[in-house]
């Protein structure tokens, strides 16, 4: 069985079209008009890729990500606990009411990883993969040919699309020219540029072997290439023969973890919109059509493989709707199960990848015209795309300020007294969401939305993640100073 190995984000089977993103919008990067025209080689003649390499290499950087050593509390089981538990609540040193679970603190090792990035504006904006910068305490960017190092900060990042925008304080950088990936053709020669396997400033050549590949419910409508992509290429550039960016290298498909001819890049139609979102909102604006489904041909083939009867849909191309999400954009527009989407905004939809790629160029609130077949009859409807929370508002990351509280880590004395290993104490309530939900001063937060809370950073990350999720609510678990357990639901609606 073929194994998908990420150079970037994990590949997940697409089922729900909770689609996002990406109008091909203008950024501060150079446009295609600024590049000289390079004549294509006559049919059947070799292609000279030296110009593309010379243009692209200076714009691709080496990114080093460092996670510092941290002190963490871990739970472990004591196999003798249940046999020698102390009915006097720990007076004799065992049986502290933890169901055989004990805690200890461990020091995590310092971790370093490397990837690539692409300079998209002369003033220091660099696009890369989210997984290259995710959870990094330090980011260092080295320019081509090891000319200079810079510290970088994250402007915005999104796990679902596996894209991130970072910034270094520099000027007059060699920004790459961004091309429209919609114009890329299967069979076209391309270069993958990056820093694979520790080999900096590397280019590999191949062709575009497919487009609109659906590799997961997150990274969608990808460009497939046989240009060698390996670990370290993450976040690097896929460029055409003019040295223009057409995609950000993201993952490979391999049973070994090394390239065997199947690499995938996130197209610039998605990348450009993500860059614009990160700059304007600090977070990715994901548009959703509100259906579950898949390519019609895949569905029909699966039914035939199971010797099941299949109705005549009047076509073999399009996206078959299996289920319409309640109160979603498609439901509001009257779309139903068994409808076949064939076109959106005048663009043909033959597969799920096609639909994902089109919706990925939109934002919540955008209107799209959808053509579909119902019982082989052609129909047209206009619908308004929504965000993951079911409305058309801009979704922004919430900060700790929205909670209206102050927090501090527990002291060793508090941990010993309460027989716990971690938590954050609420030391002040000054209004905001915590007060509205009834969380009192002195309450100790231990878990939020099933995430362990050991530091203020943990709480901050939980708030940010929840604020942009489908259900913007914090489910808080913890204990009162008396030792009594407590539970609160804290809504984080957008204002």
As annotated, the active-site residues are: 131, 162, 234
CA dihedral (122, 123, 127, 132) positive or negative: positive
Contacts with 50 (C-beta within 8 Å, 6 or more apart), sequence order: none
Instruction: Read off the tokens for 452.
Output: 């362990």
CA dihedral (334, 390, 266, 222) positive or negative: negative
Tokens 């979603």 sit on residue: 328
- Terminal alpha carbon distance of the chain: 48
Long-range CB contact pairs, 132-136, < 8 A, 24+: 132/8, 132/63, 132/65, 132/164, 132/234, 132/235, 133/63, 133/65, 133/157, 133/164, 133/166, 134/159, 134/164, 135/67, 136/65, 136/66, 136/67
CA distance 490 to 426: 14
DSSP 266-333: EEHHHHHHHHHHHHHHSS----B--EEEEEHHHHHHHHHHTT------S-S-SEEEEEEPTTSHHHHT
CA distance 403 to 397: 13
Instruction: Read off the tokens for 378.
Output: 């052609």
Q: CB of 254 within 8 A of CB of 49?
A: no
Q: CB of 146 within 8 A of CB of 58?
A: no
Helix (H) or strand (E) holding 474, with range, is strand 473-479
Rg (CA), the chain: 26
Q: Is 301 left (phi over 0), alpha (psi -120 to 50) or beta?
A: alpha
CA distance 192 to 72: 39
Q: Is 465 left (phi over 0), alpha (psi -120 to 50) or beta?
A: alpha
Q: How many CB atoms lie within 10 A of CB 282?
A: 15
């Amino acid at each position: 069985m073929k194994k998908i190995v990420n150079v970037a984000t994990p590949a997940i089977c697409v089922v729900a079209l909770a689609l996002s993103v990406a109008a091909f919008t203008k950024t501060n990067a150079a446009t295609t008009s600024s590049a000289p025209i390079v004549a294509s080689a006559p049919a059947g003649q070799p292609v000279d890729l030296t110009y593309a390499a010379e243009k692209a290499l200076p714009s691709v950087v080496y990114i080093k990500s460092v996670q510092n050593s941290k002190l963490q509390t871990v739970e472990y089981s004591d196999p003798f606990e249940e046999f020698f538990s102390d009915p006097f609540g720990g007076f004799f040193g065992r049986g502290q009411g933890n169901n055989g679970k004990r805690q200890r603190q461990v020091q995590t090792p310092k971790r370093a990883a490397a990837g690539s990035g692409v300079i998209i504006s002369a003033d220091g904006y660099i696009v890369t993969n989210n997984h290259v910068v995710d959870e990094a305490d330090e980011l260092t960017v080295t320019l081509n040919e090891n000319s200079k190092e810079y510290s970088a900060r994250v402007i915005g990042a999104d796990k679902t699309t596996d894209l991130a925008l970072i910034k270094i304080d520099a000027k007059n950088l060699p920004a790459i020219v961004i091309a429209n990936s919609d114009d890329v053709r299967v069979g076209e020669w391309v270069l993958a540029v990056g820093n694979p396997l520790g080999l900096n400033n590397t280019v590999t050549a191949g062709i575009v072997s497919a487009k609109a590949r659906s590799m997961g419910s997150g990274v969608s409508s990808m460009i497939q290439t046989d240009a060698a992509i390996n670990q370290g290429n993450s976040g690097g550039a896929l460029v055409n023969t003019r040295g223009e960016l057409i995609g950000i290298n993201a993952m490979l498909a391999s049973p070994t973890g090394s390239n065997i001819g199947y690499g995938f890049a996130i197209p610039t139609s998605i990348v450009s919109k993500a860059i614009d979102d990160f700059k304007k909102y600090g977070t990715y604006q994901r548009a959703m059509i509100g259906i579950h489904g898949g390519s019609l041909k895949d569905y029909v083939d699966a039914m035939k493989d199971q010797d099941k009867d299949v109705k005549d849909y009047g076509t073999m191309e399009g996206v078959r709707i299996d289920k319409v999400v309640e109160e979603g954009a498609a439901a509001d527009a009257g779309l139903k199960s068994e409808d076949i989407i064939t076109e959106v905004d005048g663009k043909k939809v033959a597969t799920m990848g096609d639909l994902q790629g089109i919706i990925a160029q939109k934002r919540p609130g955008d209107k799209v015209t959808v053509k579909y077949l119902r019982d082989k009859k052609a129909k047209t409807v206009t619908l308004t795309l929504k965000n993951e929370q079911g409305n058309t508002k801009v979704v922004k990351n919430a900060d700790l300020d929205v909670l209206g509280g102050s927090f501090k880590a527990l002291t060793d004395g508090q941990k010993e007294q309460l027989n716990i290993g971690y938590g954050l104490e609420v030391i002040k309530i000054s209004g905001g969401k915590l007060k509205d939900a009834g969380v009192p001063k002195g309450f100790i937060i231990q878990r939020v939305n099933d995430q362990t809370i050991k530091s203020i950073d943990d709480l901050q990350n939980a708030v940010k993640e929840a604020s942009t999720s489908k259900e913007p609510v914090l489910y808080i678990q913890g204990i009162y100073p008396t030792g009594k357990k407590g539970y609160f639901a804290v809504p984080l609606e957008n204002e």
